[in-house]
Amino acid sequence: MSSIRQAVENDVAELVRLRALLFEDLGGEFFNPASTDQGWRHELALVLKDQVRSENIRILVVDGDDCLAACGFGTIEQWLPGPHLRNGRVGHVLGVVTDPAYRRRGHSRAILNGLLDWFREREAARVDLHASREGEPLYRDLGFTDHPDPALWLRP
């Protein structure tokens, strides 16, 4: 069983490293555009330094030998309540990633279960995520299903 903990400011450099691995694994022009500079990593570090202390985001990690083995990010947004969203609180899993050297040990499952507990404690009416092909079986095993809304996007 993986031992998870809440991330702290000293984890920021490793969180940036793991988040970069996530985008490399997802690939493609959308997630890892060839034209991008690496300035996003600096911006991410600045945001994470502030967010590790926030009540609005949950960042869970699993320690490795000399690095973080895995991490996961979750947030909750307040949307407008409706018949399909009783209190309007929507959780988002912003990414779960495991260092290749630590995969197939249950770290992602442990992190996801920790995030789901956090969403329940904060009474999220729904939790959304975008699944990679590799992660989809785990998410479906934990009860995630296809979203009924069509997903569209625009980069303004």
Q: What is the mean pLDDT of residues 116-121?
A: 98
Token output for 30:
């959308």
**Count of C-beta atoms within a 10 Å radius of residue 26:** 17
- Is 152 domain-assigned? no
- Is 148 domain-assigned? no
- Is 135 domain-assigned? yes
Token output for 23:
């985008």
| Domain count within the chain | 1
The candidate with the shortest Cα–Cα distance to 120, out of 142, 96, 140, is 142
Token output for 123:
């009474």
Q: What is the pLDDT of residue 107?
A: 97
How much is the mean pLDDT over the chain? 91
- Is 121 domain-assigned? yes
Q: Give the residue numbers spanning the domain of 33.
A: 4-141
Yes or no: say if 60 and 98 are a contact pair by the CB < 8 Å rule: no
Q: What is the pLDDT of residue 30?
A: 56
**What is the identity of the amino acid at 120?**
R
Which helix or strand (DSSP H or E) is residue 97 part of? strand 89-98
Instruction: Go through 108-119 and write b for each residue having 16 or more CB atoms within 10 A of its CB, e for each that does not.
Output: bbbbbbbbbebb
The model's pTM is: 0.90
Model pLDDT for residues 26-44, shown as the tens digit of each residue: 665 555 555 567 788 999 9
- Is 62 domain-assigned? yes
Q: Is the pLDDT assigned to residue 96 strictly greater than 60?
A: yes
Model pLDDT for residues 141-155, shown as the tens digit of each residue: 999 999 888 888 887
- Is 63 domain-assigned? yes
Q: What is the CATH number of the domain that holds 97?
A: 3.40.630.30
